[in-house]
Amino acid sequence: MNFTIKEITAADREWVAQFLEKNWGSTKIVSRNRVHEAVNLPGFLAVEGEEPLGVIIYNIEDDQCEIVVLESLVENRGIGTALVEAVKRAAVSSGCRRLWLITTNDNMRALKFYQKRGFLLVAVHRNALEQARRLKPQIPLIGMDGIPLRDEIELELPL
């Protein structure tokens, strides 16, 4: 592991905004009919020197912590796992009882990744992306591997 995990600071926000625009179509992230202005939320970067290798953005409300964005730019180095662990520690120290997230029905890699790390499938919100597109029109109709984007899948890790 030749990278470190650091908290996102004000100096990192411009990189985060550009990254989200390029990779997610906007700094706005929609989950469960809610728009998150992700660039303003707390998070962590995995960095090697000054080079970002991954990002995780989260939102804590009451006793729940939602992972809003997780993306690793380099695979199979433990970056995603290290970022999730950093958020898990932040959530526990904030008194959270649940760490949760939404992914889409086409994202088989995310489903595999999170389940291997102890997350449980807790709900399928059928046709939720129809409503999400009203809040964020940039959400495409077709996702990974040509799969129509329709549903939000909710996973959680009890803390």
What pLDDT is stored for residue 24 in this prediction? 87
Q: What is the mean pLDDT of the chain?
A: 94
What pLDDT is stored for residue 73 in this prediction? 92
pTM of the model: 0.92
Q: Where are the alpha helices (DSSP H) in the chain?
A: 13-24, 79-93, 108-116, 128-135
Q: Which amino acid is at 95?
A: G
Structure tokens given for 155: 């996973």
Domain assignment of residue 20, given as a range: 4-158
Domain holding 103: CATH number? 3.40.630.30
Q: What is the mean pLDDT of residues 128-143?
A: 91
How many folded domains does the chain comprise?
1
Q: What is the mean pLDDT of residues 80-85?
A: 97
Could you give the C-alpha distances from 119 to 11, 54, 91, in angstroms and in order?
32, 20, 15
How many Å separate Cα 88 from the centre of its chain? Answer: 13
